[in-house]
Amino acid sequence: MNDNPILRITTKILFAPIIVFGLYVQFHGDYGPGGGFQAGVIIAAAFILHSLIFGLEAGRRLVPLWVNVWLMAIGVLIYGGTGIASIYFGGFFLDYNVLGDSVASGQHVGILLIELGVGVTVTSVMLALFHAFAGYDPKRFAVAEDGE
Amino acid sequence: MTVLLVNLILMALLVVIVVLLMRTNRLFAVVVLSGAYSLICAAIFVNLDAVDVAFTEAAVGAGISTVLFLAAMAFLPANERQPPRSHRITNNIAGLSICLLTGGILIMAALELPAVGDPNGPAQIHVAPRYLAESGEVLNIPNVVTTVLASYRGFDTFGETVVVFAAGLGVLLLLGGLTRTGRATKAKAAVAKTGPKTGRTKAAKKGAK
């Protein structure tokens, strides 16, 4: 929690543009530098900035823990699901050629999907890591130990 | 010539940062210097035309890692504890000779490597020509890094994603309160606070059944 008005207002102004830039990196990876890993980190950075300035609880209201955990798994499932889908359409696992009308369009669809999966997983894992470290409460473990 | 000069300056900065990193024992300085190290590495990668790697290094190494280290540092003392100084000269000589030996072996091995950008190097004549020829023409994806990462090496990237997922899950299980015991103790604490009758928690419900 930070009460400095400059930091708070700058965060409010920057929050959306950082996410838009992350989405640009995410979906522009075919043509320029970027892709799911980088985009995931950038989008996570926006949420982490929000949590740093407005407090961890506000950040957890924005992305609750259960949403965060589900997103971590959903990203991997999107990636794996793309592989299963390409088997379903008659190719090998992660063989994107069968996902579109032509080789080029199939590859574009496949790469878009798996990059999306990577982006979702990386975003949510980075956010979860930050919250786990920043919200770590040593007392909780002392209680858990004598509870068992 | 300019590229060489810029590279030399960046490498010199890296050496300066490493020396500073070794000499300081304030953890905050260590974290910030590591971030600066990553940022300069990213600049060197741009100089080598590896823009994707530079992007990742800047975002992950200089950005997120620094923030995560700072978040974790809140639970550590501000200064690194100094290891007890070894006064036995044999220890120091042994350490120095191991360092020199390992470094010498690595330098000898590096001399055997093909020069950077050597057109006849194994990296350039194995599968790279096919990737370079196909990616733009057949697949219509100009960024070859993306096709190698997502298409030709899709299995590897799947593995990487699963590793990231597993790492996140591991940290959450260790620290994030996802464990059953964590939830149970929270419920117990809630019961203790509000009294068993008003506390509408899972533990209380189970007890009622």
Average pLDDT over residues A11-27: 93
What is the per-residue pLDDT across B166-181, written as a single tens digit (0 to 9) for each?
999 998 888 866 655 4
* DSSP category for residue A105: H
In degrees, rounded to 5, the angle at the alpha carbon of residue B87 between the alpha carbons of residues B85 and B92 is 90
**Is residue B187 left, alpha or beta, with left meaning phi > 0 and alpha meaning psi from -120 to 50?**
alpha
Contacts of A111 in chain B (CB under 8 A): 141, 146-147, 150-151
Cross-chain Cβ contact B150/A131 below 8 Å: no
8 Å CB contact between A51 and A59: yes
pLDDT of residue A14: 94
Helix (H) or strand (E) holding A122: helix A103-134
Q: What is the pLDDT of residues B107-148, one digit of tens each?
A: 999 988 888 778 888 878 888 888 888 887 778 888 888 888
Separation CA A47–CA A49 (nearest Å): 5
Q: Which of B31, B67, B162, B193 is the mutation pick for testing A, counting most A CBs within 10 A? A: B67
Distance from CA of A118 to the nearest CA of B (A): 6
pLDDT, chain A, mean: 87
**Residue A7 in this model has a pLDDT that exceeds 70:** yes
> Helix (H, G, I), strand (E, B), or coil: what is residue B70?
helix
pLDDT recorded at residue B92: 79
Give yes or no for A144 touching B (CB within 8 A). yes
Question: ∠ CA B168-B39-A49 to the nearest 5 degrees?
Answer: 50
Residue B206: pLDDT band (50, 70, 90) is very low
DSSP string, A2-57: ---HHHHHHHHHHHHHHHHHHHHHHHTTTTSS--HHHHHHHHHHHHHHHHHHH-HH
Interface of B with A in 131-160 (CB under 8 A): 138-143, 145-147, 149-151, 154-155, 157-158, 160
CB spacing of A34 vs B168 below 8 angstroms: no
Query: What is the mean predicted confidence (pLDDT) over A14-24?
Result: 94
Is B64 close to A69, i.e. CB distance below 8 A? Answer: no
Beta-carbon separation of A76 and B162 below 8 A? yes
pTM: 0.79
CB contact under 8 Å between B158 and A108, yes or no, is no
Q: What is the CA radius of gyration of chain B?
A: 26
Cα B209 from Cα B202, distance rounded (Å): 11
**Chain A within 8 Å of B177 (Cβ-Cβ)?**
yes
Residue A140 · residue B175 · CB < 8 Å: no
* pLDDT at position B77 over 70: yes
Structure tokens at B57: 């290094």
CA pair distance B38, B147, nearest whole angstrom: 26
Task: Kindly report, residue by residue over B6-65, the tens digit of the pLDDT.
Answer: 989 999 999 999 999 988 888 889 999 999 999 999 999 998 888 889 999 999 889 899
What are the helix (H) ranges across chain B? 2-23, 27-47, 51-56, 65-73, 89-112, 122-125, 128-137, 144-146, 154-175, 180-194, 202-208
Contacts of A118 (CB under 8 A, 6+ apart): A35, A36, A37, A40, A75, A79, B157, B160, B161
The answer to whether B63 faces chain A, any CB pair under 8 Å, is: yes
